[in-house]
């Protein structure tokens, strides 16, 4: 059972928009800690796609965006591309656990 | 650009100690405000934070693993290491080392599979 809760799967057709949610508590997201998002392809290491809620590394297209409200955060991908498929994980800090916490991951399928 | 590479045995017997090393290139582990981290991913499951070490030697561990984990730095070799004692089959996983800037993990190793089996 992960500390941060994500839907197991989402899907969308090419060109569409999808949103992946990440629900936490008042000890992590709700406490104001930053949320980060990673994309993982099978057999490879995760790669950062969004950091500090809504900032993109330079190599990540602006189709990716993030937001946060209360104890939840979201990752939105617009203009879905086949290469966006894979698993996405949210990540934050938890003051009660005194360490990093991850979501359980969401598998994105591009139909 | 910093690069990280895990190394260590791919097979460990139950009750023994898992030992992995992460070699860092392209930057010194002694400089900057980074936390040198270990994360694992059990087969078919999500990411699990194991712990990290700051460049002053302070360590922070996942409470569920704390009694079995030790992370250390070797600045002379620009490496950091993970030791996990009394392993069971539940510790079979891909183990990643990574660099954390405060919390966010901005650079990752490719990961190494460690199987616990007799």
Q: Using one digit for the tens of pLDDT, what is the confidence trace for A70-90? A: 999 999 999 999 999 999 999
**B27-33 mean pLDDT:** 87
> In the A/B pair of chains, how many CB contacts fall below 8 A?
61
Calculate how close chain A gets to B104, using CA atoms only, in Å.
6
**What pLDDT is recorded for position A61?**
95
Does residue B55 register a pLDDT over 90? no
User: What's the whole-number average pLDDT of chain A?
Assistant: 96
**Residue A89: predicted pLDDT:** 98
Calculate how close chain A gets to B6, using CA atoms only, in Å.
12
Burial profile A89-108: b = 16 or more Cβ within 10 angstroms, e = fewer: bbbbbbeeeebbbbbbbbbb
The two beta strands, A9-12 and A106-110, are: parallel
Chain B contact probe: residue of A99, A101, A103, A107 with most B CBs at under 10 A: A99
Report the C-alpha gap between B82 and A26 in whole angstroms: 31
Dump pLDDT digits (tens) for B77-114: 999 999 999 999 999 999 999 999 888 899 999 999 99
How many C-alpha atoms does B7 have within 13 Å on its Cβ side?
8
The 3-state DSSP class for residue A84 equals helix
In angstroms, the CA A105 to CA A107 distance is 7
- Predicted local confidence at residue B103, as pLDDT: 83
Q: Write out the residues of chain A at the interface with chain B, using a CB-CB cutoff of 8 A.
A: 2, 33-34, 36, 38, 44-48, 51-52, 57, 89, 91-93, 97-105
| pLDDT of B31 | 82
User: Considering only CB atoms, which chain A residues are within 8 Å of B102?
Assistant: 34
- Interface touch A92/B110, C-beta < 8 Å: no
Contact B110 A97 (CB under 8 A): no
């Amino acid at each position: 059972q992960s500390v941060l809760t994500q839907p197991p799967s989402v899907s969308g057709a090419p060109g569409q928009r999808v949103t992946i949610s990440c629900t936490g508590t008042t000890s992590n997201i709700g406490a104001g800690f930053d949320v980060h998002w990673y994309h993982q392809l099978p057999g490879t290491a995760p790669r950062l796609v969004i950091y500090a809620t809504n900032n993109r590394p330079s190599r990540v297209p602006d189709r990716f965006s993030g937001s946060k409200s209360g104890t939840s955060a979201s990752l939105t991908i617009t203009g879905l591309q086949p290469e966006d498929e894979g698993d996405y994980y949210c990540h934050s800090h938890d003051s009660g656990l005194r360490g990093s916490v991850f979501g359980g991951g969401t598998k994105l399928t591009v139909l | 650009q910093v690069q990280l590479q895990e190394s260590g045995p791919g097979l460990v017997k139950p009750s023994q100690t898992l030992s992995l090393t992460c070699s860092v290139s392209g930057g010194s582990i002694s400089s900057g405000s980074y936390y040198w981290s270990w994360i694992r991913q059990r087969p078919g499951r999500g990411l699990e934070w194991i712990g990290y070490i700051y460049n002053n030697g302070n360590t922070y561990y996942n409470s569920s693993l704390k009694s079995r984990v030790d992370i250390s730095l070797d600045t002379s070799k620009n490496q950091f290491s993970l030791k996990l004692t009394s392993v069971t089959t539940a510790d079979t996983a891909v183990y990643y080392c990574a660099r954390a800037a405060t919390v966010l993990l901005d650079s990752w190793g490719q990961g190494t599979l460690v199987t616990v089996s007799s």
